[in-house]
Chain A
Amino acid sequence: MRNIKAKHGFCIRLLLGLATFCACAAQPCLAAELKHAALVLQWQPQAQFAGFYVAQAKGFYRQAGVDMTLIPGGQDVVPSRLLADGRAQFATMFLATGIERRAGSQAKPLPVAHLAQLVQRSALMLVVRADSAIKTPRDLDGKRVGLWDNEFGLQPRALFQRLGIHPRIIPQSSTLTLFLLGGVDAASAMWYNEYHTLLASGLNPGDLRVFFYRDMDLNFPEDGIYTLDKTLAQDPSLCRAVVDASLRGWEYAFAHPDEALDIVLGQMRAAHVPVSRAHQRFMLERMRDVMLPQKPGDTALGTLTRADYERVANALAGQGLIKSAPPFERFSRGGDMPPSPTTSGVAR
């Protein structure tokens, strides 16, 4: 990886400004000056990451001076690990994951810096069959509950701890087959993904009962953009460029859902993962629901509030998942990036 010296930053910005006025003419000469960066996503290509793929496909990263590589996640891909070993400079993570990594509960603390918060409302839920005996989360005690590993396990474990119940945890695979065949009583689901998978497996909404963690005082904001303190310190303008281009990608995706779906579906086909336009459309619509403000007072896209941070940090600390929460200012470093170039606003 080649790092551009900080003193060249001004030149880059100047060229960026030029690029927006004569994008076609400017791009060939910019190519030599592009900064290389990699962003690792939590999961396989899907509409959950539409904004990033759109930003990539529409050239928003290049326009921001970044030669971006998007690394899709997967069952065996841990974004923080890729950050730690330098395979990626940026990562998307759940807020709880970010705090846990920084606090270092189990592993060595990783100095992750939060740059922008994307998903403000938790989409994680528990799904049970409507005709089962489980009417409230408390009824899960002793039942077989499918949970995912890693960050997806934080809210459920916090919930079980708070409720003092002891469900039998079954590791949940990437499919809901076990739940559909009755192998577990409850399954974890993301509203925008697995919930629709159940609907697309022939279950009607009325056949299911869902428990949103966000409704149980466990609204852990999810996807956010992270980097390491080191990267932020070395090249804050790169961080700014990546964040701005990503947010621009999201805004474009929400404004042009069909085009965004085409881009996402193309990525999915390339990755040999099942592609269903209906499913991805549902996902993009739900991403909009959990990312964009839904009512006055909702947090704006990109912003992490101290209240959200403290809720997650306190919950993690209170349940012993972390020893102590890092200070908000040390964690949320969006403010340490240089201000957005005005031209990027025009370009949007």
Chain B
Amino acid sequence: MKRGLSFRLSALVLTATGLVLAAVVATSYVIAREALLHNAEANAKTLAQALVSRIEAVLAPIPGLAQGVAYDLEDGDLPDAAVERQQRRILADNNAVYGMAVAYEPFAHRPDQRYYAPYLCRTPLGPKMINLGGDSYRYHGMDWYQVPRELDRTVWSEPYFDQGGGNILMSTCSLPFHRMENGKREVAGVVTADVSLEWLKRLVAGTSVLDTGYAYLITKTGTYVTHPAPGVAFNETIFSRAEEYGDRELRRIGQDMIHGGSRFVAMKSLHTGKDGFLVYAPLPSTGWSLGVFYPRDELLADVHSQAMVSAALGGGGFLALAVLVAFIARSITLPLRRLTAAAREVAGGNLEAPLPVLAARDEVGELAESFANMQTSLRQHIRDLTQATASRERMESELRIAHDIQMGILPKLFPPFPDRPEIDLFASLTPAREVGGDFYDFFPCGEDQFCFLVGDVSGKGVPAAFYMAVAKTLIKAVAESAAGAGQRRQDGEDAARAQRRGPDPGRILARAGDDLAQDNESCMFVTIFCGLLNMRTGEVRVASAGHNPPLLLRAGGDAQYLPTHGEPVAGAMEGVTYTTDTLTLAPGDTLLLYTDGVTEAMSPDNELYGEPRLMALAPELTGRDTREVCARVERGVRAFAAGAEQSDDITLLALRFLGAGANAG
């Protein structure tokens, strides 16, 4: 498909607009996202801290309760009943406390009693007092007792499954109490307060964090106390989970968490597989750590929806713009397309094709105007051309007619005198243009006399043709009148004298020249070679008015140019006389007359044919009949010119004297 201007215009505008729109949407998205993430970090820390505070509110008082019992035990020998009363009161007043034990060192309560640990715990039927310890529950080696005893400080145990005690998952806050033994302060036992982890689990697990976010709690050794994934709490540590998933980052995070670190870090949740952020903070009383995971996509949901809205708005606007741009582009290019169609019609030859009329004064309007101007000029030009062509054709036709007329006035019947076998004559004229200034003529001129001539008018074309016609007619008239005069023998005159009074080439040329010179305003002239042959004797009298010397080809093989006297051309001025020379032709001699079209024929190298070349042709002309002579000379000239344009008329006239006794046959 050809892509037009409107397509390119639309494409360019829409591409640029689309890029700008996309950049705007993307930039505003990034800015909004950064702002939201910044806020999210603060919010997340606040939420985590709030959760920590809620847990601490429950856990923080626990050690104090145990400590109170311990102080009482240290202060004096409380009766067992008093201790139990205190345990019952604490359980009654503190919902968080699941159970409470006062566990003694071996034989510390009574010398015969290895185990003594009254333990009050909640049951569905109310608090129940049991005594811990025995061969199947050797509590002195258990963490809840041993760790605070060895460390001699308050310790929150790891979450444990207490099979001998409450039979639930719990953590125990334990702290030692002391007695003075032999002046030394010795650990006498441990006071514990059990906290069920179920409430903690519910609290942390019930903390909603967006949609799929979650909170979890790990202990000082990284053990999960709560975790949304089933089978993780109390089974896995954050480190074993990191190991299982090959997540080194989680292990580093876990190490920071159990060392009381508090941070906001980007990470991928192993539970949901989502990218997000983890905020974690320690629980001061237990040393445990709370982690809250925020899925990134949900955190950014608002930004996403905002970005979607702006993208939708941008997209809608873009589509509207696309329609508008396409419409505008089409309306701009419509005149162009109409112009194109009109131009195509004009180019097809219909110059009258109507051009669209455009109201717009813009570039397209100017183009249409220029186009209309062009069409007008083109029409004018074609009209002029048609006229010029018509007039030239007329002229050419007239010239063709003139040519025919000119050729018509030249004798063309060969042999000219079939009844006179003494002579063989042939002449030809090849004009350089339609009409020319060369001519030849021959005609009987008195008894046994035969006049022949070749002429060449100055200039070329129509004027020369006219002049030639005049010259030829004049010469013939002069020659024939002279012949008539010669034949009208006056009394007492002998034949020879009459003969002398008869036609004479010199006189003919002189008289014709005078006539031509009169009223010759165009200053034209003509060169003529004129000869009179006595067909009985072979005597030839010749005169030349500035014409090329003819070539005489003797029957014996000699050839020569007839000498001339360098007499002027005829018609240039009046009163010029011409000398008549006489020569005798032996039977078989040939006289070749020609115009300068032969000798001045040009080769393609601008070389003249010249008289020597014509002379060199002489041997092969000797003894030929006149038609053959003319043909050979013409062939030679044409070969020399080798296709070069003929610049002048070529006229040849060959006369061969065959002798008085020659037979016509």
Contact = CB atoms under 8 A, between A and B. Distances in A.
A281 to B, nearest CB: 8
A200 B239 CA distance: 5
A170 B138 contact: no
Contact of A202 (B143, B151, B161, B222): B222
Contact of A201 (B138, B142, B231, B237): B237
A249 to B, nearest CB: 24
A175 B158 contact: yes
Given A76-B138, A183-B151, A177 B243 contact: no
A273 B235 CA distance: 8
Given A173-B146, A175-B143, A277-B244, A76 B235 contact: no
B244 A278 contact: yes
Given A76-B138, A171-B140, A274-B234, A200 B243 contact: yes
Given A177-B147, A181-B151, A274 B157 contact: no
A288 to B, nearest CB: 18
Interface in B190-244: 220-223, 231, 234-241, 243-244
A202 B255 contact: yes
Interface string B157-200: 11011000000000000000000000000000000000000000
A144 to B, nearest CB: 8
Contacts of B491: none
Interface in B529-567: none
Nearest to A76: B136
A272 interface: yes
B258 interface: yes
B598 interface: no
B492 to A, nearest CB: 168
A199 B239 contact: yes
B562 to A, nearest CB: 137
Contacts of B147: 177-178, 181, 183
A181 B222 contact: no
A82 B109 CA distance: 33
Interface string B124-159: 000000000001111011110011001100010110
B143 A200 contact: no
Contacts of A275: 231, 235-236
A75 interface: yes
Contacts of B234: 274
Contacts of B161: 272-273
A200 B158 contact: no
A278 B258 contact: no
Contacts of B244: 276-278, 281
B221 A201 contact: yes
A16 to B, nearest CB: 39
Given A180-B221, A275-B231, A173 B239 contact: no
Interface string A184-206: 10000000000000011110000
A278 B245 CA distance: 9
A178 B239 contact: no
A182 interface: yes
B237 to A, nearest CB: 5
Contacts of A177: 143, 147, 157-158, 221
B371 to A, nearest CB: 86
B222 A276 contact: no
B153 to A, nearest CB: 9
A201 B251 CA distance: 10
B157 A201 contact: no
A200 B237 contact: yes
A196 to B, nearest CB: 8
A87 interface: no
Interface residues of B, number: 36
B282 interface: no
A287 B222 CA distance: 25
A172 B241 CA distance: 26
Contacts of A180: 220-221
B141 to A, nearest CB: 5
A202 B243 contact: no
B446 interface: no
A276 B237 contact: yes
Interface in B274-328: none
Given A178-B147, A180-B220, A200-B222, A173 B237 contact: no
Nearest to B149: A183
B150 A183 contact: yes
B255 A173 contact: no
B235 A278 contact: no
Find the residue from A170, A183, A282 having the highest chain B CB count within 10 A: A183
Nearest to B257: A202
B143 A75 contact: no
Contacts of A333: none
B254 A173 contact: no
Contact of B221 (A173, A202, A281): A202
Contacts of B243: 199-200, 278, 282
Contacts of A201: 221-223, 237, 239, 258
B258 A202 contact: yes
B639 to A, nearest CB: 112
Nearest to B161: A272
A258 B253 CA distance: 28
Find the residue from B143, B151, B239 having the highest chain A CB count within 10 A: B239
Nearest to A268: B235
A177 B231 CA distance: 22
Contacts of B251: 202
Interface string A214-226: 0000000000000
A173 B143 contact: yes
A319 B235 CA distance: 40
Contacts of B155: 181
Contacts of B238: 202
Given A76-B138, A202-B254, A276 B143 contact: no
Contacts of B235: 274-276
A98 to B, nearest CB: 23
A278 B240 contact: yes
Nearest to B235: A275
Interface string B345-387: 0000000000000000000000000000000000000000000
B289 to A, nearest CB: 11
Contact of B241 (A144, A269, A278): A278
Closest 3 interchain pairs by CB?
A201-B221, A183-B150, A278-B244
8 contacts: A75-B138, A173-B142, A175-B158, A181-B147, A183-B150, A199-B239, A276-B237, A278-B236
Given A76-B136, A201-B239, A281-B244, 12 more contacts: A175-B160, A177-B143, A178-B146, A182-B151, A199-B239, A199-B243, A200-B243, A201-B221, A274-B223, A277-B244, A278-B240, A279-B240
